[in-house]
């Protein structure tokens, strides 16, 4: 008993010290959040996340529990903490971190959230689980950069205090990955999904078929992948996703509140299908496999019935794998299809997609046809003629102008990767525009959002993907999320520069643009 006394005394002193420790003064307004939140108010103090910190959710709230688990996964590797998730009747106000769903926040929309941080507690509240998920990305960015490390780091893990109210300006904020020109496997696509999730993006468009390959198993037309799945640009072995693997991607994305929009490009960009099945060609002869990078030479036989049987089968199988509302039918650069045939074709394919209870998305070229009002035209070309035709039909626009949003454009003339048919696209030019101001005649109410495509003619590895994606992706995330009046390149570039340490901890191969003031993010530096 007497032996225990000094030990108890030490413990008592330690307790007194830890509980009386003054919170470190910090300035939430100096944090480098991307995308920038709608409203932010700093209160000059901080919350310390330590090994005792618990996460609280409402009793029985399975949705909040999922998000709590995501948060644990996010912070566990670097902090070494395994926070307990505790269910409480009324978690609001309790010490620690609470994740709460409340209809009161309906006004912030399904992705909106409210975050309050004080020295005792953090409360993240939202109308829907999606909002909580977007909100934990904010908590992640408020933690020191080393939170991104996969190896355990030393604390302290401080979060500046204050209030954030946040919600997106556009409901569609995405990127496109071309898995055809070079194939990327399931793990690489999952990694890409994680990158999108970190910046609150909510769509990944997968370009699944093109001249150089067919990347999704279609059970009723097995040769599409047996033959068409085995090629890619440059003669590599290609690859494809089985339906099981594809479902795994869709689920992985859904768990992060990201929708997969699958694209079957037609009637052009179809050489892989035309090589797999002779009957899809007007002359009934199978085409040779193609591994070059030219565009605009292939077309399905738009006047043969078998073509529509084929499309119906493909769309039926794909629709069954697609929880999202859209199926993308491509429709770009069909230079080998006569205009009148193209129009008839798009109108017939649109009917097929609608019959399978999905909405049509297509490159804006499809606006040559009469479109259903539920369709979405993706603006990509350097001239807006096609997109304006869509607006005339009351069809909504997805903004992906190549001159601003194509992540496969080289940054400058010495960029080792990328193309430049739409010009060079430095980080400032990629950020310094607004969706609604981009084309006269395309107004905010015509636009569903932004998507940044990454075509894969020149990229083969995850490092290559990262080089073209980072840092431009962060700018697109902000253009889609933050109100326009919040956006200024001079202010943004400082916030972007401070991502350097985060990129490094994640070992992201980012392009170190000279236009960005790259700097270490040090908590002490930000908070006086
Ligand atoms: C044009 S963008 C294409 C793609 C190419 C891309 C390269 C679009 C709808 N079609 O087939 O990969 O340029 O930047």
Domain that holds residue 108: 23-166
Testing ligand 1's pocket by substitution, the residue of 295, 336, 423 carrying the most ligand atoms inside 8 A of its CB is 295
**Over the stretch 128-179, which tens digit does the pLDDT of each residue have?**
999 999 999 999 999 999 999 999 999 999 999 999 999 999 999 999 999 9
DSSP for residue 64: H
CATH code: domain of residue 365: 3.20.20.80
DSSP for residue 97: E
| Domain match, 208 and 68 both | no
**Which pLDDT belongs to residue 13?**
53
Average confidence (pLDDT) over 222-234:
98
Q: Please give the helix or strand (H or E) that residue 261 lies within, else none.
A: strand 259-266
**Over the stretch 441-471, which tens digit does the pLDDT of each residue have?**
999 999 999 999 999 999 999 999 999 999 9
Is there an atom of ligand 1 within 6 Å of 166 CB? no
Average confidence (pLDDT) over 306-329:
98
Does residue 517 register a pLDDT over 60?
A: yes
**Over the stretch 94-136, which tens digit does the pLDDT of each residue have?**
899 999 999 999 999 999 999 999 999 999 999 999 999 999 9
CATH code: domain of residue 48: 3.30.379.10
| Domain match, 143 and 266 both | no
| Domain match, 159 and 186 both | no
Q: Cα(274)–Cα(280) distance, rounded to whole angstroms?
A: 6
Is there an atom of ligand 1 within 6 Å of 380 CB? yes
Does residue 525 register a pLDDT over 60?
A: no
Average confidence (pLDDT) over 249-267:
98
Does residue 16 register a pLDDT over 60?
A: no
Tell me the average pLDDT of the chain. 95
The CA distances from residue 527 to 28, 49, 321, 520, in Å, are 8, 17, 48, 14
Work out which ligand 1 atom sits closest to the CA atom of 178: 12
Q: Cα(505)–Cα(502) distance, rounded to whole angstroms?
A: 5
The band of 10, judged by pLDDT with boundaries at 50, 70 and 90, is: low
Does residue 423 register a pLDDT over 70?
A: yes
| Domain match, 149 and 249 both | no
Average confidence (pLDDT) over 392-414:
98
Q: Is 210 helix (H, G, I), strand (E, B) or coil?
A: strand
Give the number of domains in the chain: 2
* Residue environment code for 273-311, b if the CB has 16+ CB neighbours within 10 A, otherwise e: bbbbbeebbeeeebbebbbeeeeeebbbbbeeeebbebb
- Asked if 460 and 485 count as a contact pair (C-beta separation under 8 A), the reply is no
Is there an atom of ligand 1 within 6 Å of 333 CB? yes
**Which pLDDT belongs to residue 527?**
44
Is there an atom of ligand 1 within 6 Å of 419 CB? yes
The residue annotated as part of the active site, out of 248, 333, 347, 504, is 333
Residue 298 Cα to ligand 1 midpoint, Å, equals 14
Is there an atom of ligand 1 within 6 Å of 408 CB? yes
Nearest CA to ligand 1 atom 10: 332
| Domain match, 144 and 252 both | no
| Domain match, 251 and 192 both | yes
Is there an atom of ligand 1 within 6 Å of 282 CB? no
11 occurs within a structural domain: no
| Domain match, 365 and 233 both | yes
Task: State pTM to two decimals.
Answer: 0.95
Nearest CA to ligand 1 atom 9: 332
Is there an atom of ligand 1 within 6 Å of 263 CB? no
Nearest CA to ligand 1 atom 7: 455
The band of 233, judged by pLDDT with boundaries at 50, 70 and 90, is: very high
1 occurs within a structural domain: no
Does residue 196 register a pLDDT over 60?
A: yes
Catalytic residue check, 333? yes
Q: Is 259 helix (H, G, I), strand (E, B) or coil?
A: strand
Residue 286 Cα to ligand 1 midpoint, Å, equals 24
2 occurs within a structural domain: no
């Amino acid at each position: 008993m007497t032996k225990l006394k000094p030990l108890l005394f030490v413990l008592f002193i330690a307790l007194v010290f830890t509980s009386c420790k003054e919170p470190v003064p910090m300035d939430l307004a100096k944090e480098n959040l991307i995308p920038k939140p709608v409203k932010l108010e700093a209160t000059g103090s901080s919350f310390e996340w330590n090994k005792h910190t618990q996460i609280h959710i409402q009793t029985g709230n399975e949705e909040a529990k999922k998000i709590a688990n995501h948060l644990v996964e996010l912070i566990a590797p670097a902090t070494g903490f395994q926070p307990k998730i505790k269910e409480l009747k009324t978690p609001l106000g309790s010490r620690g971190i609470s994740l709460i769903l409340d209809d009161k926040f309906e006004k912030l929309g399904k992705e909106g959230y409210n975050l309050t941080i004080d020295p005792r507690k953090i409360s993240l509240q939202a109308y829907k689980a999606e909002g909580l998920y977007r909100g934990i990305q904010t908590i992640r960015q408020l933690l020191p950069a080393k939170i991104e490390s996969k190896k355990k780091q030393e604390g302290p893990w401080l979060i500046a205090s204050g209030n954030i109210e946040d919600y997106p300006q556009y409901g569609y904020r995405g990127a496109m990955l071309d898995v055809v020109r070079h194939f990327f496997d399931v793990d690489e696509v999952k990694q890409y999904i994680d990158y999108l999730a970190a910046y609150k993006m909510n769509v990944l468009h997968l370009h699944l078929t093109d001249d150089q390959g067919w990347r999704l198993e279609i059970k009723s037309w097995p040769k599409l992948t047996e033959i068409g799945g085995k090629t890619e640009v440059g003669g590599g072995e290609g690859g494809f996703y089985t339906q099981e693997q594809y479902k795994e991607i869709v689920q992985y994305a859904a768990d992060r509140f990201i929708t997969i929009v699958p694209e079957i490009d037609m009637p052009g960009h179809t050489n892989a299908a035309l090589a797999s099945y002779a009957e899809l060609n007007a002359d009934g002869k199978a085409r040779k496999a193609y591994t070059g990078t030219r565009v605009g030479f292939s077309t399905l036989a738009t006047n043969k019935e078998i073509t529509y049987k084929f499309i119906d089968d493909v769309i039926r199988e794909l629709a069954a794998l697609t929880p999202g509302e859209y199926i993308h039918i491509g429709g770009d650069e069909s230079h080998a299809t006569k205009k009148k045939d193209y129009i008839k074709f798009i109108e017939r394919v649109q009917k097929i997609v609608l019959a399978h209870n999905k909405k049509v998305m297509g490159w804006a070229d499809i606006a040559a046809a009469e479109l259903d009002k539920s369709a979405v035209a993706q603006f990509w070309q350097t001239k807006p003629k096609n997109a304006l035709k869509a607006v005339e039909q009351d069809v909504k626009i997805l903004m992906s102008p190549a001159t601003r949003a194509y992540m496969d454009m080289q940054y400058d003339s010495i960029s080792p990767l990328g193309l430049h048919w739409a010009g060079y696209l430095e980080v400032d030019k990629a950020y310094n525009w607004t969706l609604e101001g981009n084309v006269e005649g395309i107004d905010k109410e015509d636009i569903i959002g932004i998507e940044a495509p990454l075509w894969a003619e020149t990229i083969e590895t995850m490092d290559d993907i990262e080089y073209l994606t980072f840092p431009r992706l962060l700018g697109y995330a902000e253009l889609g999320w933050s109100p326009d009046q919040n956006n200024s390149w001079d202010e943004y570039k400082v916030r972007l520069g401070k991502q350097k340490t985060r990129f490094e901890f994640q070992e992201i191969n980012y392009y170190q643009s000279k236009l960005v003031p790259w700097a270490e993010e040090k908590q002490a530096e930000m908070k006086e």
